[in-house]
Structure 1
Amino acid sequence: MTSTTTDTLCTRWTRITDEHLTLSDIEHILTPIPDDLWVAAACVDRVVDDAILEKSLLVLGINRTEQAKERSLTAYREGSSLNNSEEDVAGMSSWTEEQRKSASLVTYYTSEPSDARLCQLRAVLLDRLDRLNTFVEIWRPKSLSSEDDIDAEWEDDPWADDEAAMEKFTDGLVGEPPITLSSFLLDPLLQSACLFASSELFSPICLLLVKHGPALWPYRFAILNCIPEHVCASEYRSLLPALDNTTEQEVKVTFDPWRPEQDWVESKEVHIALLDLNVSPVEGVPSLDYRCDPAPLSSRDLSAWYRGRIDDIMGMTGMVDIALSLVQHAAAHGVMNLDELGEDLSLFSRLVYDAAKSPEGVIEEDLTFAQWKSMDPSAVVHAYLAHSTPDTIIYDINRLVMPYLFVLESRAERSGHPDSELPLRMLYNFILEASLEIVATVFDASKPTLSPAQRVIKDDEDMARLALACLYGSDSLDEWSTMSRIFECLPAWDTPESDDQADEAEMTLSSLGTFVIPTTTRPRCTPSDLLLFFKPLPFSSLSKALDVLDVHLESGEILSRWGVPAPLRWFLQSNSNISEQRAWSNRMARRAGEGGEKLETQDDWEWLLEDMLKLAGSGDSGLGGAFCLLSRDDVSRIFFSGLLSTGNFQIAKDILHSHKSNLHLDADAVEAICLTCSQEFYDNASSGNLHFGEMKLAYECLNVPPPTPRLLKEKEFIEATSRLCSFNLQSRPGIPISPIEIRLTQDKLSLVSQLLSSNTDAYKHSQVILDLVNMLGFKDDAVAEVKTLAMLADSALQAEDFDRAYEACDQMVDNVLKLKTTSTKVLPNAIFQHASEVCWVECFQLGRQPEFEDVPKKLTLLGRALELCPADKMVDILNSWNRLEVDDLETRKARKSGNRPLHEAHHKASAVETLAARLEKLHMPDLHLSSVNPDAAAFANKAFSRVAANFPFGVSGRGRTLLPNEGDRSRSSDSSRSRRYEGAEVSAQATRVLQKGIGWLLGDDD
């Protein structure tokens, strides 16, 4: 064939695209080209995705490199036949035969570079043919999808004679491969293997390792690490490394390459020779980033790889079943030192997959395997049972907790520190912190009537200790039925009790009551603390404690029934505290029915009384109830007080008069209780109106027992309170006075004074005011009546109602005179003195008022004042008398009346007689008085100054004479009834008395 023809064929070949290439083109264009190097290079350069076309190219290229291979092999073999002269020239006399052959091959390739290139291309073509066979083994190419295509395009198929190969070919994976044929042939084989691993194509990887083992086996772990962590190990178990227990090394895979014998161009000798000639391979090589383990791993290294793989799985996915599957397959492959890791994964998988889950809608933080391994065993047990219900708790304990506890016990034994109590300790800790419903279910599954193998808690004394700790350590107030279920599951011990055992039990109960009392270092006694207390107790003490528990549970149910529940530990704390028992019994009597049984009828209240008496008594066991320190009388009093506090007064009457009632109280006790409750209602009242609210209850409460003086007095006080409040009295400006303020007022007459001052017309109802004073507690109190009349007179005086003021003073004088006759016989004289002082001051106050124009009445009042006043006050009163008489004489002279009216003469005579009688008793100094004697004026001035300073009352400014230094200043408009005397007025009056009244005092009318 000429060179022109060859060039034409070469040009045609290069112009054909891969998509338009056919078998005919290979046969009629490429095959006729005589240049072996060009044809081989063209076969290497052209890579198509059609398996048949690619194989045709590869076979053609391999055939065209056959002669170059033979020539190079011949040159290699002939390298040992060099003569001595040639050896000496080459300096190879000392070389070995292999070195001579290699040198000869290098020399040949140097002289025949085309053969060197052909050998290099042949190695590439053979490798590609192996890869093609692998690819065809794995996937069914599209070109072979039908028999018609095979017959039409490849009648001379080189595989047609190999029926076995064809069968394997047609049994390959069906579907689109993750990589094209061209990429599979050109990319590094390790890269394709890692791609298959990441695509979870494990059969292709197995085939690659078998057919291309020498190239891929050193990178087996790099390929395995490319498998996604979520893939179960059972899917690639044939790829997992195994351990030979006889050699303690990794088992090496047996290879089955496509060509049993290696071609000459693939030998090490050719490879070295080509490298010496700088002939680079065209195929890619694995990156240095890939892990390479050309030698089998030791047992320790293999275990470390499995551990690392499991950590990656748990860290990336958290899929415990995948990690556990890998451990199981590692064990099946003989890998050791993974037992403990397998146990942890198995236990953790039960927590993840088998333990009860939280209710829907509750989001919990994921627990990682690393966190789980670092958890305390007690925390692990709680994690297993965190969401268990009473229906599942026993099943979860047996299926989840007990295996874990047995593993912990086994590990402790293997470590040389056995701890046989570990399972029980962990289980008991959970029970102490569990809810009462869970505890009741556990105890129900631990009844002594069950066989030991079925019981969760197998020791009877441990059951008793746990039950006591859980119940007395609970804060529950509404789970009494559950507590009773726990108690019913406990063993019943029949132990005869001696005196020593009784004392020991009593001491135990007392110590327990002290133990549960909160302290600053331990605000609350937990079940764990109580278990430490009960643990050393002997059998007899535990039995006694269970008897006490029975009584306390019954008491707790009674308190809960009436809406005043107490935690079970309260019964221990109050066992020797009568104040606490009394407080709780009061709470029961007063709050009964608020959160429990409704108290609507007499029978309901009698049922409550029966329960309260039951709590105060002793049961069949002789142990006292919740109110064991209270007597029946105490309980009855507390019950009756509670009944009255609810306002059910009719029921209270019915119970008092019922012959079947358990309430036995004497009349004095009933009276005292009713008074106390009434006062309680009174003190809590916001309004003083006795027709509604607490004040009405306070009033009606006094109607429950038969009337007595004390009850009537209290009722009158309530009526007085209601009347006072009706006058709108105020404790502070704008704030009405409250009943409690009325009761706490020390001087209750001050309330009457406030009433009179704030109501200008109140003095007109004198009898109403006097009745009010009597109801305030001043009945038969003469001094109080006199003071009240004085206040009435003063109020009338302020209102310039002199007639009513005179009437009040007249009645006041009558009362004082009556009191005078009885003071020495019945009443102390001090009472009379107090009353007379109030009386004469008020008489003097009214008698000296210039606006009061009824002179005879004023003289009468001044006369009564002289009669009742102390001796040192007479001069002041006489001064007013004299001034009044002088004014009256002047008035009568102005009227030019010849004769004094008979009644005026009579009044004056009476007053003079009274004055004479008082003067007879009065010791006057021996004075040589003279109207012009200045010493007398000085003496009077001094005496009256001294007297005025000692006056216990004040004189109203309504009728006083203006002092020279006061000018035209009018009297104050203040309505206060304070009684004051100004020192200046007294002095002026004394001066006038000395100037013109001394003679009259001695009887001189002029």
Structure 2
Amino acid sequence: MSDKDLCQKWLDLSDNELDTSTINDVLGAITDDLWVVAAVADRVIDDPSLLHDLLGIALKRSQGTVERLQNSLAFQDSQESAFGGQGSSSVHVDDDMVSYFRENSSDARICVLRSVLLDRKDRVETFMEMSPANVAAHGESEAPTERDDDPWIDAADAETDQQPQRAPPLSLSSFLSQSLVDSACLLATRESFGPLQILFKRYGSSIWPHRLTILAFIPTHLSPLYYQEVLPKFDLSQDEEYRSPVQAWRTELDWTENPSVQVALSTAGYDAPQSRFSTHSADEARQPMSSQELASWYRQRIQTILGSTGMVDVALSMVQHAASQGIPELDELGEELSLLFRLVYDAQAAAEDGPEDDWTLEQWKSMDSLAVIHAMLALSTPQTVVADIRKFVSPYLFVLESRAERAGDPNPNLSLQLLNDFILGAPLGIVARIFEDSKPTLPLRHRLISDNEDMARLALACLYGSNSVDEWHIMGQIFECLPDWTGASGDEDFEDAVEMTITSLGTYVTPTTARPKCTPSDLYLFFRPLPLPPLSRALDILDVHLESGEILSRWDTPAPLRWFLQSGNDKNSQRARAVRMARRPGTNHALHGQSDWEWLLEDMLKLCRTNDSGLRGAFGLLSQAEILSIFLSGLLSTGQLDIAKSLLRSKKSTLSLDDRVVEEICLTSSREFYDNASSGNCNFGDMKLAYDCLSIPVRSETVIREQEFIEATSRIASFNVETRPGIPLSPIEVRLTKDRLSLVSRVLSSNNDAYKYKEVILELVDKLGFRGHAVPHVKALAMIADTALQVEDFAQAFETSETMIDTVSHLCSSPDISQAELNDAKEVCWVSCFQLGRQPEFPDVEKKLRLLGHALEFCPADRLPEILMVWRRLEKDDIAQRLEGGTKAGGGRQHGFTVTSAQNRTRQPGAIVPSLASRLQNIHLPASPLVMADSAAIADTFSRVASKFPFSKSRPQARPNQFEGDSQGQSRGEDVGWPSLDREEVSAQATKALQRGIGWLIGADE
């Protein structure tokens, strides 16, 4: 076949049809070397072995032309000794060679294509070396191992396992068509570090200046242990970056690759389609970095890792690698990352949702030392806190001390100060565990707190600065860990100074405007300058306070320890706490019987005693008698009356009080129950307790009066008296009523039949506090009579009036009553009698005349005309009725009085007039001013008297026609009731009657 046919056959062959025999049969038969070389350069296949053979054929066919040109052209060879050498800074241009290439284009093209094929062959061999099998074999000899001298080997878990090797993440055709830098960046992105390392080894001269750009493509979340071989290294001898030697495939350049030949070809117009000597980009770093530049690059890389991923372990691995290379100025960063690593991955690893915060290096650096310690121990428990301090806090404190020394400002107390600050702010459970690991009995090297006096100061500050009221067991554990300085004392003056110090401590813990709360840190400043004797005394006081606190907590009246200091000289505060203790038996220990109450009393007495060291308890300012009184009051307030009686009457009981004190306490408790009662019924509830309380003390007049008042309240409640519609009158309202007789009025107005039980009402008056007082009885009787009158029960009204009259009559002869009280009783009596005696509906004239006669007897002199006017009218009506009755009987018999003379009057036995006449003989009538008395004054008098009867408006009223005038058909002289008389009529009648004289009233002839 001709070359033309063979060439066409080659062009017609697809890549899948190519094999070694076909290549040799077709290309080997073509005689045109240039065409064969160009055909091979034009065909790129993805089979590296087949492509390698194909390139071998083309290079062999071009070898003769290159040898001929090398021998024929007058050229001074200045080849580099190794592939990848930098050559001279400038390349000489051979004009003869340029002219030759211009005149012989075939040779020039073969030279250009040969240089391209040589580079392609090297890349094919590199690609074949990057296969998984070759990379694994290469990695076996260069696998990263842990260094024994790694200064941070304990800070993170070393990752010694390499990534599983994979095929390069690009095809052969892509690898051949793109630049080596692009391929390296792709390998870095796809985490193909084995192939990337081979690429650096074979083409270091081309891609090494771009190493920083390539490294930037490596994912930041990967541990540097995976790609440590491609990271920058440090040459300690040169104090600069170490540059690994390049292992090129060919040690010498081909003649066509000589820079001078390449320049001549380019000048002649034959540029290579792809050049390995492309112009470098702006971010190239052709020269090795200095140690400072290396350290800066690693710091920037660590910042990038932390900023993009927050993975402290990866950043720590990076600084560990840099430290293993000897790169300086990274020690402090390594310390920071190591401590931050311990915080994030160890101290907070137990958190359910991971670390409590998204930690950053900037945040870490901005935190103060105490905040770092709190963060390291944030998840610590009392069981783990000591181990956590030794594991996390101690290394951190060691680093801080080392830095201070390096900075020229050593502080040997820095660790102790920071640890103390943490203890002062920690919960008591944590503090107790730290103190248990600092007991004086432990070897000094094993103690977290080695100074005994400092332990005492910390304990006092933590306990008295705590707000806890339920951790007495833990407080006791802390106290048990403190040193024992028994016998530590000074002279007398020093003892006084100690007592002054303790007193000032009570003032110090009292809240003020400037310091509302005294914190443990504040208290530590107070205790810090104290020497041993005051500290020892303070611990003794602490022991007493802890015991007192447990007692108070047992009975559900807990107080923080600082309260014992504040109340040391405050008797009122101690009394208030004792009252709470007696009144609020604790839920932690419910009181079920007398023995429990005796236990409470024993504890209260214990708190008021002074111990053997002369230290007073929580109630040290209260006497035993005061404690007993408070206890009894509390016992009664809980309703345990039977227990109170038993304790008071038992000879073995500690509860021994004077009868007067017992009476006062029982009265106070009774009144408290009374005031809190919701119902006045004394048969149940608080009212029953109020009544039963009064059975405990010895009976006295005061106790009896209080009992009767409770009975009166219960009696009022039985009448269903209401303060508002539907709301019963409460006991507290009864007690607060100033005029207790008004309660009687409310009883009478609230019940239609209450007036019928006169004895009950009078007994109620006695129990309301009026026993032995006659005037209130008179007023009560007047109320009963008025109520009976309004419901037209005239018999009951008259009977009650009779009782009232007898009572006032006895008062008149009693020497024990004052004139003011007597006048008050008389005024009530005559008004009540007058009210009933003038009622037209009351049919019994004889009883009405008797009532009016008593009204004349008890009324003041200026009221006689009004009463006489009504009495005369009533008498005339009675005479008229008697005459009318006698005529009808036919005997003309007169009943009642005659109008001519007193001697001619005939009267039934018991007639009222003779008695009245005898009484009126001694009445001294006033002169004309009385005769002309104005009806307005009369109305005012009755209004004033009636106002003393607080009758309810709701009681039953008389019939509507009870007080109607003459228009209702009544007789001309009939009394129509005081409210219906107008002022003119009253005045005229009174004046007329008195002008005619009143002699006829006393038996004289008219």
Q: Could you state the TM-score of these two structures normalised by the residue count of structure 1?
A: 0.88
Is it true that 1:679 corresponds to 2:671 in the alignment?
A: yes
- Which digits, 9 at most, give the CA deviation of each residue in 1:371-394, with x for residues without a partner? 222222111111100001111111
Contact 1:72 1:108 in 2 (8 A): no
* Correspondences of 1:933-952 after superposition (within 5 Å): 940-951=931-942, 952=944
Contact 1:324 1:346 in 2 (8 A): yes
- Which digits, 9 at most, give the CA deviation of each residue in 1:295-324, with x for residues without a partner? 101111111111111112222332222222
Is it true that 1:385 corresponds to 2:377 in the alignment?
A: yes
Give the corresponding residue for 2:236: 245
* Correspondences of 1:20-59 after superposition (within 5 Å): 20-59=17-56
- Which digits, 9 at most, give the CA deviation of each residue in 1:491-513, with x for residues without a partner? 12231244333332332233222
Contact 2:169 2:192 in 1 (8 A): no
The correspondence for 2:995, drawn from 982, 991, 998, is: 998
Give the corresponding residue for 1:541: 534
Q: Does the residue aligned with 2:544 lie in a helix, a strand or coil? A: helix
Give the corresponding residue for 1:148: none
The correspondence for 1:608, drawn from 586, 600, 605, is: 600
Is it true that 1:15 corresponds to 2:2 in the alignment?
A: no
Is it true that 1:64 corresponds to 2:54 in the alignment?
A: no
The correspondence for 1:898, drawn from 871, 885, 893, is: 893
Q: 1:108 deviation in Å?
A: 1.9
Distance in 1 of aligned mates of 2:507 and 2:879: 94
Give the corresponding residue for 1:924: 926
Q: 1:652 deviation in Å?
A: 1.1
Distance in 2 of aligned mates of 1:11 and 1:908: 174
What letter corresponds to residue 604 of structure 2 in structure 1?
Answer: M
Q: 1:795 deviation in Å?
A: 0.4
Q: 1:751 deviation in Å?
A: 0.8
Give the corresponding residue for 1:852: 842
What letter corresponds to residue 729 of structure 1 in structure 2?
Answer: V
What letter corresponds to residue 208 of structure 1 in structure 2?
Answer: L
Range moving further from structure 2, 203-212 or 285-294: 285-294
Range moving further from structure 2, 222-231 or 808-817: 222-231
Contact 1:393 1:438 in 2 (8 A): yes
Distance in 2 of aligned mates of 1:983 and 1:570: 76
Alpha carbons of structure 1 residues 16 and 362: separation in structure 2 relative to 1, 3 Å: closer
* Correspondences of 1:655-674 after superposition (within 5 Å): 655-674=647-666
- Which digits, 9 at most, give the CA deviation of each residue in 1:547-566, with x for residues without a partner? 21111100000011112111
Q: Does the residue aligned with 1:564 lie in a helix, a strand or coil? A: coil
Contact 1:77 1:101 in 2 (8 A): no
Q: Does the residue aligned with 2:340 lie in a helix, a strand or coil? A: helix
Q: Could you state the TM-score of these two structures normalised by the residue count of structure 2?
A: 0.88
The correspondence for 1:581, drawn from 552, 556, 574, is: 574
Q: 1:612 deviation in Å?
A: 0.3
Contact 1:851 1:959 in 2 (8 A): no
Alpha carbons of structure 1 residues 107 and 656: separation in structure 2 relative to 1, 3 Å: same
Q: 1:726 deviation in Å?
A: 1.8
Distance in 1 of aligned mates of 2:780 and 2:57: 146
Give the corresponding residue for 1:405: 397
Give the corresponding residue for 1:430: 422
- Which digits, 9 at most, give the CA deviation of each residue in 1:450-500, with x for residues without a partner? 222111112222211211111111111111010011111111223124433
Is it true that 1:880 corresponds to 2:855 in the alignment?
A: no
What letter corresponds to residue 657 of structure 2 in structure 1?
Answer: L
Give the corresponding residue for 1:215: 206
Distance in 2 of aligned mates of 1:52 and 1:104: 40
Alpha carbons of structure 1 residues 903 and 989: separation in structure 2 relative to 1, 3 Å: farther
Distance in 1 of aligned mates of 2:963 and 2:645: 70
Range moving further from structure 2, 804-813 or 133-142: 133-142
In structure 1, runs of 5+ residues without a counterpart are 81-95, 143-172, 928-935, 971-979
Distance in 2 of aligned mates of 1:769 and 1:642: 37
Contact 1:699 1:715 in 2 (8 A): yes
Q: 1:100 deviation in Å?
A: 6.6
- Which digits, 9 at most, give the CA deviation of each residue in 1:30-55, with x for residues without a partner? 12212222111111121222222111
Distance in 2 of aligned mates of 1:715 and 1:304: 96
Distance in 1 of aligned mates of 2:95 and 2:1005: 182
Is it true that 1:178 corresponds to 2:169 in the alignment?
A: yes
Contact 1:948 1:983 in 2 (8 A): no
Distance in 2 of aligned mates of 1:394 and 1:665: 55
- Which digits, 9 at most, give the CA deviation of each residue in 1:574-630, with x for residues without a partner? 22221111111111111113x221211111111100000111111222111111111
Is it true that 1:327 corresponds to 2:319 in the alignment?
A: yes
Distance in 2 of aligned mates of 1:97 and 1:837: 144
Range moving further from structure 2, 122-131 or 234-243: 234-243
- Which digits, 9 at most, give the CA deviation of each residue in 1:624-654, with x for residues without a partner? 1111111111110110111111111111111
* Correspondences of 1:745-784 after superposition (within 5 Å): 745-784=737-776
Alpha carbons of structure 1 residues 133 and 963: separation in structure 2 relative to 1, 3 Å: closer
Distance in 1 of aligned mates of 2:165 and 2:25: 33
Distance in 2 of aligned mates of 1:371 and 1:382: 14
Is it true that 1:187 corresponds to 2:189 in the alignment?
A: no
Distance in 2 of aligned mates of 1:558 and 1:631: 18
- Which digits, 9 at most, give the CA deviation of each residue in 1:179-220, with x for residues without a partner? 222322332222222233233333322222222221121122
Q: 1:408 deviation in Å?
A: 1.6
Distance in 2 of aligned mates of 1:99 and 1:831: 146
Alpha carbons of structure 1 residues 965 and 843: separation in structure 2 relative to 1, 3 Å: closer
Distance in 1 of aligned mates of 2:675 and 2:456: 51
In structure 2, runs of 5+ residues without a counterpart are 78-87, 135-163, 887-891, 897-906, 952-956, 971-976
Give the corresponding residue for 1:930: none
Distance in 2 of aligned mates of 1:954 and 1:827: 23
Contact 2:120 2:176 in 1 (8 A): yes
Q: What is the CA RMSD across the aligned residues, in angstroms? A: 2.8
The correspondence for 2:193, drawn from 197, 202, 222, is: 202
Alpha carbons of structure 1 residues 347 and 894: separation in structure 2 relative to 1, 3 Å: same
Q: Does the residue aligned with 1:903 lie in a helix, a strand or coil? A: coil
Alpha carbons of structure 1 residues 497 and 612: separation in structure 2 relative to 1, 3 Å: farther
Percent identity for Structure 1 against Structure 2: 49
Is it true that 1:296 corresponds to 2:288 in the alignment?
A: yes
Contact 2:498 2:537 in 1 (8 A): yes
Give the corresponding residue for 1:635: 627
Contact 1:198 1:227 in 2 (8 A): yes
Distance in 1 of aligned mates of 2:567 and 2:553: 17
Give the corresponding residue for 1:785: 777
What letter corresponds to residue 873 of structure 1 in structure 2?
Answer: R
Is it true that 1:522 corresponds to 2:522 in the alignment?
A: no
Distance in 2 of aligned mates of 1:336 and 1:287: 33
Distance in 2 of aligned mates of 1:346 and 1:141: 37
Range moving further from structure 2, 466-475 or 501-510: 501-510
Is it true that 1:268 corresponds to 2:259 in the alignment?
A: yes
What letter corresponds to residue 839 of structure 2 in structure 1?
Answer: Q
Range moving further from structure 2, 343-352 or 539-548: 539-548
Distance in 2 of aligned mates of 1:363 and 1:355: 9
Q: Does the residue aligned with 1:19 lie in a helix, a strand or coil? A: helix
Q: Does the residue aligned with 2:723 lie in a helix, a strand or coil? A: strand
Q: 1:263 deviation in Å?
A: 1.4
Q: 1:964 deviation in Å?
A: 11
What letter corresponds to residue 221 of structure 1 in structure 2?
Answer: L
Give the corresponding residue for 1:227: 218
Alpha carbons of structure 1 residues 675 and 175: separation in structure 2 relative to 1, 3 Å: closer
Range moving further from structure 2, 475-484 or 234-243: 234-243
Aligned length: 932
Alpha carbons of structure 1 residues 621 and 181: separation in structure 2 relative to 1, 3 Å: same
Give the corresponding residue for 1:146: none
Distance in 2 of aligned mates of 1:716 and 1:949: 38
Q: 1:69 deviation in Å?
A: 2.5
Distance in 2 of aligned mates of 1:174 and 1:240: 19
Alpha carbons of structure 1 residues 766 and 279: separation in structure 2 relative to 1, 3 Å: farther
